[in-house]
Amino acid sequence: MGVIDILILFATGLAAGFLSGFLGIGGGVIAVPVLVYFLSGTVEPDILFLTASTISLGVVFFASSNSAIKHIKSHNYYKKAVIPIALGSVLGPIPGSWLCAVISDRGRMFFFSAVLALLAVRIFFLDNEDEDGNPRKHPRFSVPVMFLAGLFMGTVSAMTGIGGGSILVPLLAVVLHFNIKKAVGLASIVMIFNAVSSLAGRYFIGAFDSIPVSLFFMDFLLISLGASFTAQLGANMNIRSGYKSFKKIAGAIYILVALQVFIKAL
């Protein structure tokens, strides 16, 4: 691995950490395509996306842990929503890992991009709060719905390795009327549990069998090192930004993510 490769992986971590803190995405949307590029020729093409997304889940765990610290200290989350959503997210990788074995990489990517695009468009029309953060629609803390949201997030995370936050945040904002910025803090916390569960699921379906140990740790450590510098910075910018401006930025980035994944699946 040359100096340029090291710098690219480190820069990937910088971007992944920032997105994790700012949008609760977890960083997988940046890490997965970069890892696909680096692993090309090292692993078989039919398991390339599976291998890249497995390494990415390790990055998601690290980046989410760092950003969650800032969100928790700033109380930028809904405490009563953590347990039901986390429980669903931990169980979600069970069907998600099974779907990895029966649905092609391309099919999983098309599904993810379609769902995210629909949610992203809906984000632009959210009217839950005014610019000062005063609620127009109060959040709903329905335990069954929160559990199902976490379950869906966990399933998608295990299927794609992208972390699930890019699905969970707009889902909570649209369906349960959560403050979108607090939904980001909540996603950062939940993804810690989800990443561990998803990695365990990948282990049981043999995803680690195709990954050289030295390559896994080198890619993981370089990206995670970069993420450690920017995860809390992104969380701080989330907390300080205005509701309307954040909503527009989030919606635009979610659409770009959906488009990126769709193009990769073509």
Q: Is the pLDDT of residue 113 over 70?
A: yes
Q: Which residue has the tokens 């379950």?
A: 151
CA distance 207 to 239: 37
Radius of gyration of the chain (CA): 17
Q: Is the pLDDT of residue 168 over 80?
A: yes
Answer whether 180's CB lies under 8 Å from 76's CB. Answer: no
CA distance 213 to 34: 18
Domain residues for 254?
A: 3-265
CA distance 194 to 252: 25
Q: How confident is the model at residue 258 (pLDDT cuts 50, 70, 90)?
A: confident
Q: Is the pLDDT of residue 131 over 60?
A: no
- pTM higher than 0.85: no
Query: Can you read off the two tokens belonging to residue 25?
Result: 């995405």
Q: How confident is the model at residue 135 (pLDDT cuts 50, 70, 90)?
A: low
Among candidates 206, 158, 136, which has minimal Cα distance to 56? 158
CA distance 71 to 81: 14
Among candidates 100, 62, 76, which has minimal Cα distance to 180? 76
What secondary structure letter does DSSP report for 43? B
Q: How confident is the model at residue 129 (pLDDT cuts 50, 70, 90)?
A: low
The distance from CA 88 to its chain's CA centroid, rounded to whole angstroms, is 15
Summarised one tens digit per residue, pLDDT across range 204-241 is 877 777 666 777 778 888 898 999 899 999 999 988 88
Q: How many domains does the chain have?
A: 1
